[in-house]
Amino acid sequence: MSAPSAFRPIVVIPVFDHEEAIGAMVAGVRATGVECLLVDDGSKPSCAAVLDALDAADDGVHLERLPRNSGKGGAVMAGLRAAATRFGATHAVQIDADGQHDASDIPAFLGIARANPQAIVCGAPVYDASVPKGRLYGRYLTHVWVWINTLSFDIRDSMCGFRVYPLASVLPLIDSERIGLRMDFDPEIVVRAHWRGVPVLNRETRVTYPSDGVSHFDLVRDNVRISKMHARLFFGMLWRSPRLLWRKVAA
């Protein structure tokens, strides 16, 4: 890892069969001047070919290829490790491949991270009319559970896939904890980081659903995974609650 005074960000984009949207997302990221690492999470050949072409066309675009699909969380964690080991990054911006996030907000997120290098900077979505109402209401249930499991309102939206990770704090976490590999990853990692005392800052950002019409969120299976995750975190919160409450009193 680089010296503590350095600030070296890279954008990590997990990709699974988003060949119609990923080109525009990469163009948006590169327009901010930040390099990006595409993590091919076992995509089909047509998407893999698009990723190969993006990698070949721009020295600021890099490709990490997983041999089989490991889920969004598995792909992000592989990308975070590669960001540190391959590129010496201190911070990684996670952003989704499907075009729902506004890449032009990356400099604002990085500005907050540069000023607060120990913190996770989480996106707080501002939705337009494209958001599915079922997904929107489901997210609020997760928000409530996250507030319970952290005994705080510090995390405004734990499911937004647009955030900045300080790798010095997050890599030891993912190497020592068993974190969900699929759609349960986003809320679980930020809750566990919060438990460890990693500050969480929130930044509003525009979110649309999604530009290529492809979503890998399975309404039944992913909601079951997320419900099980909340149950695990709840029991984890119970034995941590004295320390979490003392932290609030001492703040």
pLDDT tens digits, residue range 96-111?
999 999 999 999 999 9
Domains and CATH numbers, the chain: 9-250 (3.90.550.10)
Give the Cβ contact number of residue 21 at 10 Å: 20
Residues 6+ apart with CB under 8 A from 201: 112, 116, 119, 120, 121, 122
CA distances from 19 to 51, 167, 175, 213 (A): 8, 28, 30, 11
Q: Which two tokens stand for residue 209?
A: 């659903």
Q: Which two tokens stand for residue 138?
A: 């489901």
Does the pTM surpass 0.75? The reply is: yes
pLDDT tens digits, residue range 165-186?
999 999 999 999 989 878 789 9
Extract the runs of DSSP E, i.e. beta strands, from 2-154: 9-15, 36-41, 61-66, 91-94, 120-127
Amino acid at 136: L
